[in-house]
Structure 1
Amino acid sequence: MASKKTNKTHLSWNDPAFRAIVYQIAVLGIVAYVAWYLVSNTMHNLSIRNITTGFDFLDREAGFAIGESSIAYTPADTYKRAILVGIVNTLQVSALGIILSTLLGSIIGVARLSTNWLVARMATVYIEAIRNVPLLIQLFFWYALITENLPGPRQALNPVGGVFLSNRGLKFPALQGDSLSWILYGLLLAVLCTFAVYHGSRKRQEKTGKTFPVFRAGLFMLLVFPFIAYFLGGASLALDYPVLRGFNFTGGLSISPELSALLAGLVIYTSAFVAEIVRSGIQSIGKGQWEAASSIGLGKTRVLRLVILPQALRVMIPPMTSTYLNLTKNSSLAVAIGYPDIVSVVNTTLNQTGQAIEGVLIIMAAYLTVSLSISVFMNWYNRHIALVER
């Protein structure tokens, strides 16, 4: 039997393994020293200026109003609650921005590959123009367009009954009643069941080759489950219409000019990058795939949806992840147009409390957590759709 060779590390500078260990220890030591120096120097400067440190201020009364909040908040609430409002607002903008920019960017990316000369050129002009104008400038443009060119509440545009558009934002009817929460739970249950049916149908198809009408089953659950939940909640549901009272509307739901401008800027700017990712992903698929799918009688739309895009997703997901992360981080520019995101709320907090370091750490931790969550999900999805060698 051949003897096993063992790679032993020798305490000699001529041994590459020993040198590698020494270099790593040296680098770790330098990093630890720099971190210690920065922390100790900061703490020393704070103590000289009699500035207290810590996060005890989070339990004190905030004392300032927040113009837009998806959760209940009053100035009598704590700074902790105010920061939570900012985080929720940031998550709201990021989620809506990711969904809308993906939809718009996919359409434009496919349009750029169109055989229609005008459609392809218009998509190209859109991408090149939007990508080469700074996002902050675009946010200022949309905010000015909404606040300065739309009429006031008394002269608000009324394109559809109950919907009003003015320089105070978009007002539209809202559902209210005891059954509303039940309906939302019904929708959530329908979505979860649809995903379960989808995964079950894929495993069934891999084993037996038989397909299952997932789309029709999902549509049925999305319609039936909320309908049943409506009656379980007492069949109490009504529309609350916005009504002009004084100088503004009351009732219904509203989208503020700040949120509208922020969403418009983020979606339009990010969709240009998404469009290029979609275009490159589609073009990465060989021409033979188009020809093979067309030879069995599939039309161009079905070839794109059933054959090309599923393969192109494996190319598009990594750069799409970076684009989603950039959108989330770019939402911090909301402070420039007055939307109360996490940066704006924490900025007000640190101005009142003087806890600048703690405030910046909170912002960093919030964006780091959201970004890592998006990255983890996208990496999981990337592994899920990856080709598995058999």
Structure 2
Amino acid sequence: MQVRQKHQQRGIDVTDGTDRKAAVRVRPKEEFNFFQDQRVRSAFYQILTAGLVGWLAWYLITNTAYNLEIRGMNTGFSFINSSAGFDTDFKLIEYKPGVGTYGDIFMIGALNTLLISFLSIIVSTVLGFVIGVLRLSSNWLVSKVALAYVEIFRNVPLLIQVVFWYIGVFNLLPVVKKSLDLSFGAERIILNNRGLYFATPIPGGLFWMTLVALAIAVIGAIIYRRRARKRQDASGVQTNTLLPSLAAIIFLPLIVFFATGMPLEWDIPTLQGFNFAGGASVPPAFLALLVALSIYHAAHIAESVRAGILSVNRGQSDAAMAIGLKPGKVMGLVIIPQAMPAIVPPLISNWMNTVKNSSLAIAIGYSDIVSLFMQTALNQAGYAVEMVGMTMAFYMFISLTISFFLNIYNKRVQLVER
């Protein structure tokens, strides 16, 4: 006993086996509680949410079907193969009223929408990048003009701009007999208040050889550029690839074209009666919508470009200038590549909005999918739910496709931190 007290005073643990077992705390056995278990609650709420969504979808579908039935309205998709008895002023595929079907009308509207959206995206993106760079110009006049462009066109509603370009510009162009020749007397491009007329090529039998030569030149230019870049990475020697690539792309097809006897003719629009015949044409509504969409969305893209450039550290441009790069090279090789991670996300939204805003064509009579399929075809066929659903699915598919590919590109341009 005295020895134990001495050891305890010195801080030595002298607890025997029996005392040590008694000192161990035994955890009480956890009891499973169905309502308090986290996994059970998580699965329960997920199942409950899925059930509510399913019930809501079932209710909407059955309620809609019941209301359509009591009103005697047609349902289903059998109308797609039914003949449509109306024509359109602008189409990219062959169609005859009374022979073509509502499925053809859907394709015509979809192609017209894709065409105007694609061209508007290209023009607005190029113009937006130019205006965005000019906004940061050291020239006071240039920067203020770019600022005025952005503030004016970004803050005026797009619908008003569409109507303005259609009624206030293209409808006021000269009449057919006083048409404007935009080809400087060659009569290849004609503009009047009925639209834009232009000559279309008619390839001959050996024209395919020119196309093959063009493809070979493009592939060769790409290979030459990649090798020049590898050589620059290895030795630091920079090779000018622009002029040789352009020379190959231009002159090689031209040589083949002349060697094969110039197998290409042109279908030129000619004035016959009260209008032009031959070639191809686009209506004034197409031109008005193209200009309005391009100018409006270019203003938004310009601000995204300006913000992306300003997000790059000023030291990057100073360092590039210090090693002798010219301002154009600094912007194209140093600033823009680093600004792309900040530019691409808003650019995705702008491109998707361009596609969706093309539906404003209904205000000026352009034959897009909304005007042609969801309005004219719906009024004749009467399948409202199906036609509206198909139109919604079309826009959703195009928007998700744009988002998918641009998100892939966005991941590639993201800066990787070391």
Question: What TM-score results when the alignment is normalised by the length of structure 2?
Answer: 0.83
Pairing partner for 1:154 from 150, 155, 177: 177
Contact kept in structure 1, 2:90 and 2:282, CA below 8 Å: no
Structure 1 residue aligned with 2:192: 166
For 2:387 and 2:324, the matched residues in 1 are separated by 61
Pairing partner for 1:132 from 155, 163, 176: 155
- Aligned to 1:63, what secondary structure does the other structure show? coil
Structure 2 residue aligned with 1:302: 329
Equivalent runs, 1:219-230 vs 2, <5 Å:
219-220=246-247, 222-223=249-250, 226-227=253-254, 230=257
- Aligned to 2:196, what secondary structure does the other structure show? strand
Structure 1 residue aligned with 2:397: 369
Structure 2 residue aligned with 1:380: 408
For 1:176 and 1:262, the matched residues in 2 are separated by 29
For 1:185 and 1:48, the matched residues in 2 are separated by 60
Contact kept in structure 1, 2:217 and 2:252, CA below 8 Å: no
Contact kept in structure 1, 2:268 and 2:278, CA below 8 Å: yes
Aligned amino acid, residue 300 of structure 2? F
Task: Indicate whether 1:55 and 2:77 are aligned.
Answer: yes
Identity %: 43
For 1:34 and 1:336, the matched residues in 2 are separated by 34
Contact kept in structure 1, 2:356 and 2:395, CA below 8 Å: yes
Displacement after TM superposition at 1:203 (Å): 8.3
- Aligned to 1:66, what secondary structure does the other structure show? coil
For 1:195 and 1:10, the matched residues in 2 are separated by 70
State how many pairs are aligned: 383
In structure 2, the CA distance between the partners of 1:191 and 1:203, relative to structure 1 (3 Å rule), is: same
Displacement after TM superposition at 1:240 (Å): 2.4
- Aligned to 1:51, what secondary structure does the other structure show? coil
Contact kept in structure 2, 1:139 and 1:265, CA below 8 Å: yes
Contact kept in structure 2, 1:179 and 1:230, CA below 8 Å: no
For 1:225 and 1:14, the matched residues in 2 are separated by 77
Displacement after TM superposition at 1:306 (Å): 1.0
RMSD (Å), alpha carbons: 2.9
Higher mean displacement: 229-238 or 312-321: 229-238
* Larger CA Rg, structure 1 vs 2: 2
Displacement after TM superposition at 1:209 (Å): 5.6
Displacement after TM superposition at 1:30 (Å): 0.9
User: C-alpha offsets along residues 283-313 of structure 1, whole Å, 9 cap, x if unaligned?
Assistant: 0000000100000111211111111011111
In structure 2, the CA distance between the partners of 1:84 and 1:298, relative to structure 1 (3 Å rule), is: same
Contact kept in structure 1, 2:173 and 2:193, CA below 8 Å: yes
Structure 2's unaligned 5+ residue stretches are: 1-29
- Aligned to 2:201, what secondary structure does the other structure show? strand
User: C-alpha offsets along residues 168-197 of structure 1, whole Å, 9 cap, x if unaligned?
Assistant: 112232222335973795488469737963
Displacement after TM superposition at 1:121 (Å): 1.1
Task: Indicate whether 1:70 and 2:70 are aligned.
Answer: no
Pairing partner for 1:350 from 371, 375, 378: 378
Structure 2 residue aligned with 1:5: none
User: C-alpha offsets along residues 324-371 of structure 1, whole Å, 9 cap, x if unaligned?
Assistant: 000010001111111101111212111111001110111011111111
Aligned amino acid, residue 57 of structure 2? A
Structure 1's unaligned 5+ residue stretches are: 1-7
For 1:115 and 1:367, the matched residues in 2 are separated by 41
